[in-house]
Amino acid sequence: MEAVILNIKDSIKSDRFLWSLVFILTFCSLLAVYSTSASLTKFHSDTTIFFLLKHVPFVIVGLFITWIFSKIDYLEFNKWAPVMLIIAVVLQIWALFFGVDINEAKRWIQVPFLDISFQPSDFAKIALICFVARSLSAKQDQIKSFKNAFVPLLLPIVVVCGLIAPANFSTAALLFLCCLMMLFVGRVSLVSIFGLILLGAAAFGFLIFLSEYFPHAIRSETWANRLNEFLNSEDGGHQIQQAKIAIANGGWFGESPGNSTLRNFVPYAWADFIYAIICEEWGVLIGGGGIILIYLMLLIHCVSIVTKSPKAFGALLAIGLGFNIVIHAFANIAVSLDLVPVTGVNLPMISKGGTSLLLTCAAFGMIISVSKNLKDLNLSSDSLDISTNHEESTD
């Protein structure tokens, strides 16, 4: 047991910065989930910590997953990428046809014999990012070639995003954007990237066409209602109005943790609109600005990995996973600020949600694995320089 504890401590020390971000986000999640879900416990239990008790096990398992993935050599993810992609496609097809219908969307798969469901789209995001990183790194010598480099990437991106889109268009669109950014970092030509954008637009148009024949499978009416509400409602719908009131009520310094009054009125305050409650309790300056700063620090660290990584796969994997986390975070924040239409996207590592939390933890572990490898390389090179200098001095 002592050896395991020492091993965990050594792993955390190897990349303290990323682990610090993980622990800060975890701490924010525990406080925010407890505060936002306390009003719901009267429907389930007499205790106000009912939902917190359900959330804590996921947090503990998530931290363990982060540690496990951080211990894996990131090059292993290169080998697993094709298999992960196949599994992701199969799971998405299963969810599309046989998934559990929750909130008029088939996003979840029920685990047999267990009262547990999960969203395969969360796994699909990591699988596709790994595959795109693998494909881009393998074709760097011919990356500008449309036929040899770009075409093999088209099918996986369009297929995975296309399978996610009918039930969860916002997640599909954000994943598509993440892939576009990876292609740009991977030096794919702008002409090819623009071609993929046109192809994505065509696929979206095809979904709209199919929605007339499969209205229950493709939520085009929900998309239209949200877009219409965003464009034509000056104050936004009920969700946005309550979120903006919560942010305004918090002011610069907040009402203090646990003292939110709008958590009882903001829909999905523990998930989609948790940022608004954080702003109300912690203030726009510390809570709102602090959360944004944490995600920006993650993105900057991932960018630094790109500039330092000797291998293209590690650089593309880290920046792809970093983009995915940060893009989803900013999309969630933008909804609460009424900058974009309502998306239904969680705040990564903070919102209540088992599948999203566990797979975001896995993504953090993969980024830590890449970052830790860079530190090991730097230490090795430093050791080599020292020994070389010593040999030169003795000569």
Q: What is the pLDDT along the chain (395 residues), one digit of tens a residue?
A: 555 555 555 555 557 889 999 999 999 998 888 888 766 655 555 566 777 788 888 999 999 999 999 999 999 999 999 999 999 999 998 888 777 766 555 677 777 666 677 888 899 999 999 999 998 888 777 766 666 666 777 888 988 998 888 888 889 999 999 999 998 888 887 887 888 888 888 888 888 877 776 666 666 677 777 777 777 777 777 778 888 888 888 888 878 887 777 777 777 777 888 898 899 889 889 988 999 999 999 999 999 988 888 788 999 999 999 999 999 999 999 988 888 888 878 899 998 877 889 999 999 999 999 988 876 555 444 433 333 333 333 33
Residue 48: per-residue pLDDT: 62
φ and ψ at residue 106, rounded to 5 degrees: -95, 75
Looking at the fold, whether 21 and 111 belong to one and the same domain comes out as no
Beta-bridge partners for 100: 108
Cβ-proximal residues to 343 (8 Å cutoff; 6+ apart), any chain: 170, 174, 226, 272, 331, 332, 335
- Is residue 263 included in any domain, yes or no? yes
Claim to verify: residue 61 and residue 159 sit in the same structural domain: no
For residue 386, being part of any structural domain is answered with no
Q: Judge whether 392 lies within some domain.
A: no
Residue 61 CA to residue 80 CA, distance in Å, equals 22
Q: What sign for the dihedral angle of Cα 225, 228, 234, 240?
A: positive
Name the residue with tokens 């936004």: 236
117 three-state secondary structure? strand
Domain co-membership, 50 together with 140: no
pLDDT at 52: 78
What six digits make up the tokens of 224? 């239209």
Q: What is the pLDDT of residue 379?
A: 47
Strand, helix or coil at 199? helix
The torsion angles phi and psi of 155, rounded to 5 degrees, stand at -60, -50
Residues 81 and 179 in one domain: yes
The single-letter code of the amino acid at 291 is I
**C-alpha dihedral sign at 35, 36, 37, 39:** positive
**Same-domain status, 226 and 87:** yes
Domain C-terminal end among 187, 216, 231 = 231
Per the structure, the complete domain to which residue 176 belongs is given by 76-231
Q: Is residue 273 part of a domain?
A: yes
395 is a domain residue: no
CA distances from 331 to 130, 175, 214, 288, 325 (A): 22, 12, 28, 14, 10
Mark whether 120 and 227 lie in a shared domain: yes
* Domain stop point among 231, 264, 284: 231
Instruction: Give yes or no: residues 113 and 66 share one domain.
Output: no
- Number of other CB atoms surrounding residue 92 within 10 Å: 27
Rounded Cα gap, residues 138 and 79, in angstroms: 12
Do 208 and 238 lie in one domain? The reply is: no
- What is the per-residue pLDDT for 297? 94
Q: 137 and 56 in one domain?
A: no
Residues 215, 100, single domain; the answer is: yes
Both tokens of residue 135?
A: 């494909």
Residue 78: the pLDDT is: 93
Element (H, E) at 70: helix 50-71
Contact by Cβ (8 Å): 270, 343: no
**Packed helices 312-336 and 238-250: angle between N→C axes, nearest 10 degrees:** 90
Q: List Cβ neighbours of 344 (8 Å cut-off, separation of 6 or more).
A: 168, 170, 272
Counting the structural domains of the chain, the total is 2
Residue 64's SS3 state is helix
CA distance 267 to 1: 44
* 391 within some domain: no
Domain final position from 198, 231, 264: 231
The DSSP letter of residue 216 is T
**Are residue 201 and residue 308 in the same domain, yes or no?**
no
Helix (H) or strand (E) holding 101: strand 100-102
**Based on the domain organization, do 225 and 80 belong to the same domain?**
yes
Alpha-helical segments (H) within 265-311: 274-282, 289-308
